[in-house]
């Protein structure tokens, strides 16, 4: 018989209640404390660091080590699933007309800029860890530096997934926490560089920052097409969006489970079961988004053939789902960091984080002024914010100097991310190749250097212009 008074039946409510409380506290502090308000740190990041401090300094004094480990595991699980649900929601969005007239190929160049920045982060990170592993730190996990483009460039979800694969499959002690710590460091970099760059522009008289930014999207269109599912229906419109997202994720699970069962049966030998299978689970968010794009294509075909008469996905509500899941993901990922795992290499994380952050800032300011000369400041802030945090971090920085989005900087983040998936997908795959052996680690470094040379060359010699 089900016992609704048992602690196990309230476990999910307990953990999600902690996240909710942290978000409420973080939002209050950000609104009331001038320093935090000007720091440009998203509320979810503030809430995450509050939770980490409370866990390490307070909670550890009152609960057992097993309870702390259980909390870390649960929050890691939330991070793992939230990143996939957020990507699926983004993948289901219906294509809209661009708000700005971009020159043909603009999304291509934005995508190349995003992926080439990943490569800069990977080259710096992997080069340093390789050097140290052959000189001063022979016990250092040589492939650990490749986690920087995941943590900085793609966010905590991917860093956790691949860090966990490295930890469980290749013996990288504390790999999950290392990846999460990199992602957290990235958010700090977005805030520090954002404040520095904005103050620099203000001193030069190039911008005037506003204390209060009005929401220019305060009247969302819940019906973006005339044949959408109406609000007054037997099933709530928001429920439909959640159902579609969850169905895609359920389908994703089924496919990955089926393939890994086949691999565990010895289809590709030990390589299939020990290397490919863990990567499939680690890349759940990529497969989820691909299946979301496939379902969106199926919907389009069904509508063209008059089989489906209504448009079910709604962009506004899907944006709310992705925003919710990403906020939850950020809080959970930071709290899930195990400080004890980082004590041995905290100085390495700090120094490497500084090197990768400075390299990203220099590369972005150099490239943005050439690719987006008409709005280089907005593009620099937006791209840097996204490539050290998330897309929402980039938008926050853009709004500080372009509150009404008069430039295409915010649009570039969206269209660039779409094409970056095409260029970046093989790069994400070779991340799984890096830790197999010393030779494969060097091979991966050579591949990313070669790819960077090609991508950077295209960006420098084929400079697109944007029509404002």
CA 149 and chain centroid, separation: 10
Instruction: Answer yes or no: is 273 within a domain.
Output: yes
Instruction: Answer yes or no: is 350 within a domain.
Output: yes
DSSP bridge partners of 311: 228
Instruction: Answer yes or no: is 404 within a domain.
Output: yes
Instruction: Answer yes or no: is 163 within a domain.
Output: yes
For residue 37, pLDDT beyond 50? yes
| Domain of 339, in residue numbers | 12-93+106-208+227-461
Instruction: Answer yes or no: is 293 within a domain.
Output: yes
Rounded mean pLDDT of the chain?
83
Instruction: Answer yes or no: is 397 within a domain.
Output: yes
Cα–Cα distance for residue pair 86/66, rounded to 1 Å: 30
pLDDT of residue 246: 96
The number of domains in the chain is 1
Residue 244 near residue 313, CB atoms below 8 Å: yes
Residue 94 near residue 166, CB atoms below 8 Å: no
CA 320 and chain centroid, separation: 16
pLDDT of residue 222: 55
For residue 274, the 8-state DSSP code is I
Residue closest to 106 by CA, chosen among 402, 415, 409, 375? 415
Quick: pLDDT tens for 206-253.
766 554 444 444 444 555 555 666 665 678 888 999 999 999 999 999
**Burial of 375 from C-beta contacts in 10 A (0-12 / 13-18 / 19+):** buried
For residue 447, pLDDT beyond 90? yes
Residue 229 near residue 311, CB atoms below 8 Å: yes
For residue 404, the 8-state DSSP code is T
| CA 17-21-24 angle, 5° bins | 140
Instruction: Spell out the alpha helix ranges (H) of 336-408.
Output: 339-342, 346-371, 376-388, 391-401
For residue 41, the 8-state DSSP code is -
Instruction: Spell out the alpha helix ranges (H) of 171-236.
Output: 175-203
Quick: pLDDT tens for 347-389.
888 899 999 999 999 999 999 988 888 889 999 998 998 899 7
Instruction: Answer yes or no: is 415 within a domain.
Output: yes
Cα–Cα distance for residue pair 56/352, rounded to 1 Å: 24
Q: Name residue, tokens 């016992």.
A: 3
Instruction: Answer yes or no: is 214 within a domain.
Output: no
């Amino acid at each position: 018989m089900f016992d609704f008074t048992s602690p196990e039946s309230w476990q999910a409510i307990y953990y999600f209640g902690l996240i909710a409380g942290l978000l409420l506290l973080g939002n209050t502090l950000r609104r009331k404390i001038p320093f935090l308000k000007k720091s440009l740190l998203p509320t979810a990041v503030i809430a995450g660091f509050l939770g980490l401090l409370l866990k390490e300094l307070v909670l550890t004094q009152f609960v057992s080590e097993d309870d702390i480990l259980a909390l870390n595991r649960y929050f890691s699980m939330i991070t793992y699933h939230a990143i996939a649900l957020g990507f699926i929601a983004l993948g289901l969005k219906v294509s809209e007309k661009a708000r700005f007239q971009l020159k043909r190929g603009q999304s291509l160049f934005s995508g190349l800029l995003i992926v080439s920045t990943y490569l800069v982060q990977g080259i710096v990170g992997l080069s340093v860890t390789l050097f140290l592993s052959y000189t001063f730190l022979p016990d250092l996990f040589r492939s650990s530096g490749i986690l920087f483009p995941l943590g900085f460039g793609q966010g905590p979800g991917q860093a956790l997934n691949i860090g966990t694969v490295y930890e469980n499959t290749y013996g990288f002690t504390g790999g999950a926490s290392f990846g999460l710590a990199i992602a957290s460091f990235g958010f700090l970099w977005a805030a520090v560089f954002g404040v520095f760059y904005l103050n620099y522009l203000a001193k030069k008289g190039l911008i005037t920052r506003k204390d209060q930014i009005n929401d220019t999207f305060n009247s969302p269109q819940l019906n973006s097409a005339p044949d959408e599912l109406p609000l007054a229906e037997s099933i709530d419109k928001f429920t439909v969006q959640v159902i579609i997202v969850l169905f895609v994720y359920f389908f994703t699970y089924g496919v990955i489970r089926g393939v890994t069962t086949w691999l565990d049966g010895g289809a590709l030998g030990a390589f299939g079961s020990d290397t490919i299978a863990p990567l499939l689970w680690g890349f759940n968010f990529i497969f989820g988004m691909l299946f979301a794009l496939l379902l969106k294509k199926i919907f389009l075909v069904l509508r063209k053939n008059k089989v489906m008469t209504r448009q079910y996905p709604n962009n506004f509500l899907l944006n709310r789902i992705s925003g919710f899941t990403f906020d939850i993901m950020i809080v959970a990922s930071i709290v899930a960091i195990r400080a004890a795992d980082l004590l041995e290499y905290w100085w390495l994380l700090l120094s490497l984080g500084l090197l990768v952050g400075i390299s990203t800032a220099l590369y972005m300011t150099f490239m943005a002024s050439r690719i987006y000369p008409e709005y280089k400041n907005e593009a620099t802030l937006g791209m840097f914010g996204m490539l050290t945090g998330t897309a929402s971090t980039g938008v926050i920085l853009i709004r500080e100097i372009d509150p009404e989005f008069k430039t295409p900087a915010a649009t570039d983040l969206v269209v660039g991310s779409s094409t970056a998936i095409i260029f970046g997908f093989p790069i994400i795959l070779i991340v799984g190749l890096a830790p197999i052996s010393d030779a494969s680690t060097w091979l991966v470094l050579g591949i990313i250097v070669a790819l960077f040379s090609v991508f950077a060359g295209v960006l420098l010699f084929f400079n697109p212009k944007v029509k404002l």
